Amino acid sequence: MKTKQKAPKLERIEGRLVKHGSARSFSYQEINRALYIRGDTPFTSAVKHVEKMLDKLSAKTGKRGVESFGNTKFITVIGMGKAIEKVLSLGVFLKAEKLYRVDVLTKSVGVLDEFRKETKSSRIINHETQTESLNTFSDTPERAGEHIVELADSSDDSGDDSEDDITMRKRNVSAVELRVWRKMV
Amino acid sequence: MAPIKKNPANQINSKSLRARLDKSASHLFYQPAGTRSTPSPTQRTQSLLHVPKLLSSTQNDLQRLEKALTAAKSGSSKRAFQSLPRSLRRRTASHNVKRVPKRMRARALREMKEKKDDDVKAGGNTKKIKGILLKREKGLSKARKLYLMRRMRKLLRYTTHLKRKGQLAIVSPMLFRKALIRNQMKQLSIQIRDLKPSQSPLNNSVGSFDNSAAFALAKFKPHAIKYVKRQRDAAWLPTHIWHAKRAKMEKKWGFAISQTPTLKSHRNTHRKSVRDGCVVWDTSYTGTMVLRFIGNTAKAEMKAVLEYLSHNSKLKDGRAWYGNIFTGQEMNGPGEILRVKEDLAVRVHPAFYKVVYTMVRVMRKTNNFCFEMEDCRYALGSIDLVGPNALNAVASILYTTNKNSAQSRLFFKIQQVRDLDTIPVGTAISLECEDPRRYLHPTKHHSRLTNDEMLDAVLELSHNKGVDADIVKRLLTKEGRVSSYANQPSLKDLGRRRANADTERTIPKLSSDPTIPVLLVRHEIGFRLILPWFWVLPFWHQLTKVPHVFVGGLRQYHQVLTERGMLYFPTDYPFTPKGMHSSLLDTMDLEDKYVKKPAAKRVKYSQFRVYEDRELRGEHGTPFGSDWTFLKFLRLVVKDLKEYTKEGDKLVDYLSSRLKDSIADKPTQPFVLSSFFNSEKKLKVWLRDNWRKIYTAPNIADRPSRLNMLETAGIDDTEEVTWNNLSVFGKDHLNLRSNPLNHLVESLIESADFDATFKSKLAGDRGNFDTEGGKRVGETEESNDIEIIGAQDFNRVLEPDMDKDQELHYWLNLAAEKDFDQDQVDLDEEHKRIIANPQGLLEETNFFMGVFKRRPRKIAQLPIELARDLEVCPKRNRRLPVKMIKFTVISTGNPKKHARVYSSNGETNPGPENMIGYVTSANYNMSLGRVSGVACVAAEELHGYLSIRNIGETTFAQIQWSAIEL
């Protein structure tokens, strides 16, 4: 039997990690047809959202007050990472309790990781060196006005410029998509 | 009056009604003849409702009803403009057909004619229909009309005359003030005559020009001669006229800014900014200064300036930095710095722009730096976009000249990204665009890119691929912006070209058409489009045509930030000078409103019982807002008392239990002190000991630090401190300060070495403000002088025969000659002056905070000391260290701005000693279904559970909070 090969684990890059979402594209139509579930989305509210969206699909009222059915026959519920479990249990619930037809698809979604090398903020350093007895009621603008800087030799910091303090990396996250079909009348 | 005759047959009562019903319905029931009197059980079942019979009998009725309903629908009295959605309704649409959208205009016109006929028949209104025929005939007197016409004719003649010559007449607002009309005309003609035709012309027929200044603050020059007078107090943004029709305008920070749209907008703003569209703002009021670093020391100088402004010396080429702008150690408020090669563009809020600009100038002089400075406040404008549709919307109005350039390709790859969070903050894209007005409608771009492809584009952008230095240079230099105005077509020109074109949708391009450099920057909540000042309006017009775009005002910006738990300037920045000013102005406004009310309608805050289980009466601090000074003293006093007894929190518990007894006996005693000491005698002893402690210590550092606050000038160490020395039972001015705690604090302030104006403010006597002889700062003497401000200066800026370098030098020389701008001052003198009196600079610029119309007084004279009460840095002495928190209400409750924050420590009923701060912003967050907001609280007390109480209420709302790192 073939053993499954695991994808190599990504190396941790130095710096603070700032997570960015996947690049979903904007479509006005999609707003009422796709539901994105997060890890902290409450289960019941997700169920209500799904039912409301399905209601909207079927109860499209035309100009003359006649109910018409659009071409769309299902809505999608998507969750990735931590939310997968929630999405799946939502699927089971919709299928078993609410008697909807539910399809499950798996996929992977690319996201961006940003690693920021934090330079020690000079602001904090300044605060630490400030003495307790400073009369701050008048000190600041004077200090600002007399702000004298010693310039470093420009040849020294030429390398400083190219230094990359922000690193970006793409990462794939597994995701699951439910298709919840509207009930045919 | 004759009595109404009652016809017994027509009289309706329940009896008759029932009889009639029985009669009419009797035939519907099957009733065999001869059995009517005594129906058997079988007969009873037979006498049921006979449905087919019922239907056939009522068929006619039903049909008639249906007919009537349909007839009513089609021939309803609803007028055409009433069926429009709210956003398309106009106030004048009921009588002016041109206010109704074209597709409905025919119907509207027909209805109008019908209505007019009806009116005439009824002998009423015989006015002609507006929008189709002439305007109303009655109204102005003949002489007035004649005058208006003559004035218009002359103005028009002058403007067209000048425009044809390629010049711009800039007329003083004084012109239309007091002089006699004939004199005005005379003077104007003299001025016009004196304008020499040889002076250099503009490069366009619409009067766009670049208004920037080197090493000085640019002076605002109104664009249109017609509206000079209205821009005396506050400059108009490029989109002012558009906004003035659709929003409430407010004069703030030297600009007229849209405060909120006239449409209802709270829900719309949330939905568009989060779910299904985008919200846009004209943020051209943000000031831009451009710093150009040249020579060998360029890099080092740039580092120093970055360090000075942002406390962070690293900024990659082609990226923007967002954060709080400092001048040395003083935090001013939010701003952004963009770096492209050796240029920095610093964009800051207009409230403190002048301070930052001047301080950078001073810093440059002090250190003998040689970078160039340019004030582009009125030369660069910007549009902010927030929401899932933001990129899509802006992409549909940007027509790049070179579609194959790297920037353009990358931009159109990411234009469909819905979560703006995907793109890192600080990413910048520069583009060169065509005039968007050439296209009738915005163009929607459909791309079928996969998630991966879009992410790759974002990755490329983060490696500085988005910025073309040449394009940015065009945007950030004077000659670049001027070149973008060359041959800028007017709407009339465009209309003419459209009429001659084959297709109406697109106007064919001419080789002389201008190209516009724009910069798109990802900021903290969305994107910002930066472009030359006089190109903002054309782009704005196109942008508002994009579907699902909602235009917001300042209040909407505030809402969007608060929903995201971010700070809005100036409301959420009470620890900065301008933020504190804004907080004080708010308070004063509310107080004014309160005082204007009749006494019977006022809430008696002094009688108000805040805590149900305690006898204490009166709201803490001022009931009209956030009383920061009160908070500072409260925290310090409570802390001192705790330290003194060395029992810490236990003491508070103990005293809380004893409170009722002690207060019941002596209701006028200072609450905190009496509650802690339980008797006046003990308090006196405590005070005496501590004063001695303070004054016998050899130097300030050795004195108990918190007691420094109690330092007084008038009491020396030998004198025994008595109750009277503190004058606790002081004046009861507005009857608002009857809260004993207020008395205490007030007395402490009175004895402390504070500014006299500040004292008088606290004493409730606010009439003594020095207002420079009753005039607001910045106002000049009224006079009949007529002048055309800056016309000569302006016209000298551009010499058509010069090449770019020559022009730049010419322009710099002009600036050096102090001839270029009226604000130009001797740098040395300026430097000396600021060093001598640094606070003066802040005071000078205070009037920028002012709302001119509503509050022309006092603003400039608010004490600076007050602005320095709070500090986000915890190490400083004499200030109250504070922290900003974002919160969500988890219990019931609807906290508002200025609500008091308490550290409840799990107690059910916090007392005044637990008050630690104020809510600065709060609103109903639709995605949470609860109120969320931002508060400013004393940093040292920030732990555990917090609760919030509104001014004038006794209920506490529990909150969930987290600190915001600044």
- pLDDT per position as a tens digit, B19-33: 666 665 555 555 555
The per-residue pLDDT for B204 is 83
Q: Closest chain A residue to B834 measured between Cα atoms?
A: A145
Q: B956 in a domain, yes or no?
A: yes
| Partner-chain contact A164 B316, CB within 8 Å | yes
| Partner-chain contact A138 B839, CB within 8 Å | yes
Q: B212 in a domain, yes or no?
A: no
State the smallest CA–CA distance between residue A128 and chain B in angstroms: 7
Say whether both B559 and B581 belong to one domain. no
Of residues B493 and B778, more confidence is placed in B493
Say whether both B458 and B554 belong to one domain. yes
Q: Tokens 């903002």 sit at which residue?
A: B536
Token pair of B127 as six digits: 């006015």
The per-residue pLDDT for B158 is 64
The per-residue pLDDT for A15 is 84
Question: pLDDT (tens digit, 9 = 90+) per residue, B828-873?
Answer: 455 455 555 544 444 443 333 322 333 333 333 333 444 445 655 4
Q: B188 in a domain, yes or no?
A: no
Q: Closest chain A residue to B699 measured between Cα atoms?
A: A133
Domain that holds residue B127: 85-132
Q: A62 in a domain, yes or no?
A: yes
Say whether both B357 and B413 belong to one domain. yes
State the smallest CA–CA distance between residue B719 and chain A in angstroms: 27
- Which residue in A110, A137, A154 is closest to B297 by CB distance? A154
Is A146 part of the contact surface with chain B (CB cutoff 8 Å)?
yes
Is A147 part of the contact surface with chain B (CB cutoff 8 Å)?
yes
B549 Cβ contact partners less than 8 Å away, ≥ 6 residues apart = B272, B277, B278, B279, B280, B389, B393, B543
Q: Assign B598 to helix, strand or coil.
A: coil
Is A161 part of the contact surface with chain B (CB cutoff 8 Å)?
yes
Is A20 part of the contact surface with chain B (CB cutoff 8 Å)?
yes
The per-residue pLDDT for B396 is 95
| Partner-chain contact A112 B455, CB within 8 Å | yes
Name the pairing type of β-strands B880-889 and B870-871.
parallel
Is A166 part of the contact surface with chain B (CB cutoff 8 Å)?
yes
Say whether both B833 and B872 belong to one domain. no
Question: pLDDT (tens digit, 9 = 90+) per residue, B786-806?
Answer: 222 222 222 222 223 334 344
pLDDT band at B908 (very low <50, low <70, confident <90, very high): low
State the smallest CA–CA distance between residue B702 and chain A in angstroms: 10
Q: B207 in a domain, yes or no?
A: no
State the smallest CA–CA distance between residue A135 and chain B in angstroms: 7
Q: A63 in a domain, yes or no?
A: yes
- Which residue in B328, B388, B417 is closest to A140 by CB distance? B328
B296 neighbourhood in chain A, CB within 8 Å:
154
Q: B784 in a domain, yes or no?
A: no
Say whether both B618 and B696 belong to one domain. yes
**Mean of pLDDT values over B53-59:** 85
Say whether both B582 and B554 belong to one domain. no
Question: pLDDT (tens digit, 9 = 90+) per residue, B918-941?
Answer: 999 999 998 888 999 999 998 877
State the smallest CA–CA distance between residue A22 and chain B in angstroms: 6
**Alpha-carbon distances of B770 from B513, B600, B762, rounded to whole Å:** 55, 32, 15
Query: Closest by alpha carbon to B224, among B155, B277, B308, B127?
Result: B155
**For the domain that residue B288 is a member of, what is the CATH number?**
3.30.1360
The per-residue pLDDT for B723 is 28
Round the average pLDDT of chain B to a whole number and report it. 71
Query: Closest by alpha carbon to B820, among B849, B798, B804?
Result: B798
User: What's the number of domains chain B is made of?
Assistant: 3
pLDDT band at B874 (very low <50, low <70, confident <90, very high): very low
Query: Closest by alpha carbon to B920, among B652, B462, B571?
Result: B571
Q: B269 in a domain, yes or no?
A: yes
State the smallest CA–CA distance between residue A101 and chain B in angstroms: 27
**For the domain that residue A48 is a member of, what is the CATH number?**
3.30.110.20
Is A44 part of the contact surface with chain B (CB cutoff 8 Å)?
no
User: What's the number of domains chain A is made of?
Assistant: 1
pLDDT band at B99 (very low <50, low <70, confident <90, very high): confident
Q: A18 in a domain, yes or no?
A: no
B392 neighbourhood in chain A, CB within 8 Å:
26
Q: B118 in a domain, yes or no?
A: yes
Say whether both B548 and B633 belong to one domain. no
The per-residue pLDDT for B191 is 61
The per-residue pLDDT for B53 is 83
CA dist B560 and B565 (Å) reads 9
Domain that holds residue A38: 25-108+177-181
B327 neighbourhood in chain A, CB within 8 Å:
141, 144
Of residues A35 and A159, more confidence is placed in A35
Say whether both B520 and B598 belong to one domain. no
Q: B594 in a domain, yes or no?
A: yes
Which of B418, B452, B456 is the mutation pick for testing A, counting most A CBs within 10 A?
A: B418
Contact by Cβ (8 Å): B94, B81 = yes
Say whether both B614 and B763 belong to one domain. yes
CA dist B353 and B366 (Å) reads 20
Of residues B536 and A29, more confidence is placed in B536
**What's the half-sphere exposure (Cβ side, CA atoms, 13 Å) at B432?**
20
B421 neighbourhood in chain A, CB within 8 Å:
20-21
State the smallest CA–CA distance between residue A41 and chain B in angstroms: 11
Token pair of B398 as six digits: 């940007």
The per-residue pLDDT for B627 is 78
Is A129 part of the contact surface with chain B (CB cutoff 8 Å)?
no
Contact by Cβ (8 Å): B308, B411 = no
Q: Tokens 């006996």 sit at which residue?
A: B665
Which of A24, A40, A64, A123 is the mutation pick for testing B, counting most B CBs within 10 A?
A: A123
When mean pLDDT is compared over A27-41, B124-138, B753-767, the highest value belongs to: A27-41
DSSP per-residue letters across B875-907: T-SSSEEEEEEEEEE-SS----TTPEEEE-TT-
- Percent of chain B scoring above 70 in pLDDT: 61
Contact by Cβ (8 Å): B895, B956 = no
Q: A119 in a domain, yes or no?
A: no
| The dihedral sign for the CA sequence B239, B241, B244, B249 | positive
Say whether both B603 and B456 belong to one domain. no
- Percent of chain B scoring above 90 in pLDDT: 29
Does ipTM top 0.85? no
| Partner-chain contact A151 B421, CB within 8 Å | no
A&B contacts, CB < 8 Å: 181
A134 neighbourhood in chain B, CB within 8 Å:
876-877
The per-residue pLDDT for B518 is 96
Residue A170 Cα to chain centre, angstroms: 13
Say whether both B581 and B559 belong to one domain. no
The vertex-A24 CA angle with B274 and B567, nearest 5°, equals 35
pLDDT band at B320 (very low <50, low <70, confident <90, very high): very high
B26-40, B392-406, B501-515, B717-731: segment of lowest average pLDDT: B717-731
